[in-house]
Amino acid sequence: PILILGACGQIGTELTFELRAKYGSENVIASDIREGSEVLMNSGPFELLDATNYEAIEDVVMHYEIDEVFLMAAMLSATAEKFPMRAWNLNMNSLFNVLNLAKERKINKVFWPSSIAVFGPNTPKKNTPQNTIMEPSTVYGISKQAGERWCEYYFKKFGVDVRSVRYPGLISWKTMPGGGTTDYAVEIYHEALKSGKYQCFLDKDTKLPMMFMDDAITATMSLMESKPEKLSVRSSYNLGSMSFTPKEMAKSIQKNIPDFKITYAPDFRQQIADSWPSSIDDSAAAHDWNWKPKFDLETTTKEMLGNLKQAL
Ligand code: VAH
């Protein structure tokens, strides 16, 4: 059986649905610090669980005889700047809890998300390589860089089978993101349908690596199902699909909603975005486990507006 920590979050929610569809609802235990959507809560077993509480996780792991853990609980970049020590505590102690369960052989496999936030202001911004300068300038980025180093250490030292990808900004319609710098790329679709206008908290030319959630989930499951001997990276794989600016995103929405208006009012999240790459070289993932994205900006916009129209 599989345990998902942070199952009510932006990625966790969709991961829960996809893993349940593939492996059967009863084999996927969802957990979070608080209850999730009606749909999620009614789709299979759920446990209220604090990812920083080792004993509580251990109890659930033993009770359900868990084999694999997906650790999706974290505090994201924007919120982490407001609460640095809470972010460090949640992001690191949850990871140590899961890595130590694997080291004690109480679970066999771990997925842990890293992020393009591990890169910093002096990282090459275009086609950022798998191995390069990494001096993250955000609390969240520092926690992700430290987390990657621990994942590789536990793999090399204790043979822990932990796998990870550096997610770009993720765009989903089933769930809202929580406290990220790339959240504008989700909010903009909701506002385009609700009010026909959106005030963007990043500047019009801020180019960032982004990905539609379906691609992110496919990548996550593909990496976890790969044969271990195929994996040359045990820190975290670069993962790319598309890059665009808020201005390009607004144009893509205006093709469907001609009157949509965007304005720009950069806030503290501009500095975070400016420290991140504009595009990613994910050739290691393509080589090791045949990663290939399906969605671009046009198809993402069609999917988002089509599904949100139904949902709203
Ligand atoms: C954030 N969505 O904005 C997350 C992600 C690359 C961005 O890490 O913090």
- Is residue 11 scored above 90 in pLDDT? yes
> Which ligand 1 atom sits nearest the alpha carbon of residue 10?
2
Range list of H helices, the chain: 10-23, 38-41, 54-64, 77-82, 84-103, 139-158, 184-194, 213-225, 246-254, 269-274, 283-289, 297-311
Q: How far is the CA of 260 from the centre of ligand 1 (A)?
A: 25
What would the mean pLDDT of 230-249 be, rounded to a whole number? 98
* CB-count burial class (<10 Å; 0-12, 13-18, 19+) for 228: exposed
What would the mean pLDDT of 253-274 be, rounded to a whole number? 98
Tell me the best of 166, 172, 182 to mutate to test the pocket of ligand 1, counting ligand atoms within 8 Å of each CB and taking the most: 182
What would the mean pLDDT of 22-48 be, rounded to a whole number? 96
> Which ligand 1 atom sits nearest the alpha carbon of residue 209?
6
- Is residue 312 scored above 90 in pLDDT? no
Question: What's the pLDDT tens digit per position in 195-229?
Answer: 999 999 999 999 999 999 999 999 999 999 999 99
Per-residue model confidence (pLDDT) at position 243: 98
Per-residue model confidence (pLDDT) at position 120: 98
Q: What is the ipTM of this complex?
A: 0.96
Distance, CA of 272 to CA of 109 (rounded, Å): 32
Q: How far is the CA of 62 from the centre of ligand 1 (A)?
A: 32
What would the mean pLDDT of 252-280 be, rounded to a whole number? 98
Helices and strands (H and E) in the chain: how many: 12, 14
Please confirm, yes or no, whether 167 is among the known catalytic residues. Answer: no
125-129 LR contacts (CB < 8 Å, sep 24+): 125/277, 125/278, 125/279, 126/277, 126/278, 126/279, 127/279, 127/280, 127/281, 128/238, 128/277, 128/279, 128/280, 128/281, 129/238, 129/281
What would the mean pLDDT of 46-67 be, rounded to a whole number? 98
- Reported confidence tier of residue 119, pLDDT bands at 50, 70, 90: very high
What pTM did the predictor assign? 0.97
Name the percent of the chain lying above pLDDT 70. 100
For atom 1 of ligand 1, which residue has the closest CA? 180
Distance, CA of 165 to CA of 14 (rounded, Å): 16
Distance, CA of 195 to CA of 213 (rounded, Å): 24
What would the mean pLDDT of 274-278 be, rounded to a whole number? 98
Of 74, 14, 75, 6, residue with least CA distance to 34: 6
Question: What are the two backbone dihedrals, phi and then psi, of residue 32, each rounded to the nearest 5 degrees?
Answer: -165, 170
Catalytic residue among 54, 140, 184, 189: 140
- Reported confidence tier of residue 311, pLDDT bands at 50, 70, 90: confident
> Which ligand 1 atom sits nearest the alpha carbon of residue 208?
6
Name the percent of the chain lying above pLDDT 90. 98
Question: What's the pLDDT tens digit per position in 70-97?
Answer: 999 999 999 999 999 999 999 999 999 9
- Reported confidence tier of residue 56, pLDDT bands at 50, 70, 90: very high
Q: How far is the CA of 148 from the centre of ligand 1 (A)?
A: 16
- Is residue 141 scored above 90 in pLDDT? yes
Q: What is the mean pLDDT of the chain?
A: 97
What would the mean pLDDT of 111-126 be, rounded to a whole number? 98
Per-residue model confidence (pLDDT) at position 126: 98
Per-residue model confidence (pLDDT) at position 23: 98
Ligand 1 pocket, CB under 6 A: 76-77, 115-117, 140, 168-170, 177, 180-182
